[in-house]
Amino acid sequence: MNNIKVAAIQMVSSTHPDENLETMKNLVRSAAKLQADWVLLPEYWPLMGKQDSDKLAVAEPLGCGPFQQALSELAHECGVVLFGGTVPLKSRELDKVLNTMLVFDADGERLSCYDKMHLFGYSGLGERYAEADTILAGQSVPSLRVDGWGVAQGVCYDVRFPEFFRAQLPFDVLMLPAAFTYTTGLAHWELLLRARAVENQCYVVAAAQGGLHESGRKTFGHTMIVDPWGEVLNVLGEGEGIVTAELDVGRLKSVRARLPALSHKML
């Protein structure tokens, strides 16, 4: 396991998939020019619809479709491991999609496929969200190692469930695409990311949607990379952009050696 450079991309996705696709490509290419080894995209990068049901029209079968093809080709073109945020995939229920993170290696081969398990629901302050109305929950998380690093996977609302990541131990880095609302993000986003980093003594790489969308929804942004001691290494408040940081093996080992909490875990 060697040090690697990671990039997390922030977008403000529109209601136009073709436009979002071009924005995504440009940002990944820019991340590659910054010499990133891994690149993480945000949740819902292909579409932030005016209605939650809009994503049904663009859902792809696993293994084919313009979103998945673009991710595979771009990973190969740029020579990066591309954690493809989330893409809507067709599910066994016609009125629901899977909200899926796909991972492609530098040869363009798919390494992993994780369907979001915890579905966000919130009502208050004039807002209401119910992902379960249009998304079918996933059932399992695949084990993943990339470049010698153990990788935990989660999507957005998953971050509120610490036991979900404990079940994935051992791992060294947690990859989390998200589209936190402004209300919940302002209250809890950084707190939750730093808590997951500290309790699992791991790096956390979180790529977010960040701004005002055509639907009127406002996402919190603050794409962030956190180290195993809970220190924020880099953050982007709002708007499109890229944050980068080095995942340092020495730092990871030092934190775990000085405070061997993972070896003290009883349950």
Q: Of 60, 156, 202, 238, which residue is the catalytic one? A: 156
Instruction: Look up 60 and say whether it is catalytic.
Output: no
List C-alpha distances in Å: 164 to 11, 39, 216, 252: 26, 23, 31, 21
Matching residue, tokens 């953050």: 235
Are 5 and 35 in contact by the 8 Å Cβ rule? The answer is yes
Find the distance separating the first CA and the last CA of the chain, reported in whole Å. 28
Say how far apart CA 13 and CA 209 lie, in whole Å.
7
Torsion, Cα 135 171 111 66, to 10 degrees, reads 40
> Could you identify the residue written with the tokens 């954690």?
83
Catalytic (active site) residue 156: yes
The yes-or-no answer on residue 109 being catalytic is no
CA 133 to chain centroid: 21
Cα separations (Å) of 210 from 11, 89, 236?
Answer: 6, 23, 9
Q: In the chain, where do the E strands start and end?
A: 4-10, 38-40, 81-83, 87-90, 97-104, 110-115, 121-124, 127-130, 144-146, 149-153, 173-178, 203-208, 223-226, 232-236, 241-247
DSSP codes of every residue in 38-88? EEEPPTTTT---SSGGGGGGG-B-TT-SHHHHHHHHHHHHHT-EEE---EE
The residue annotated as part of the active site, out of 55, 96, 116, 218, is: 116
- Residues designated catalytic: 43, 116, 156
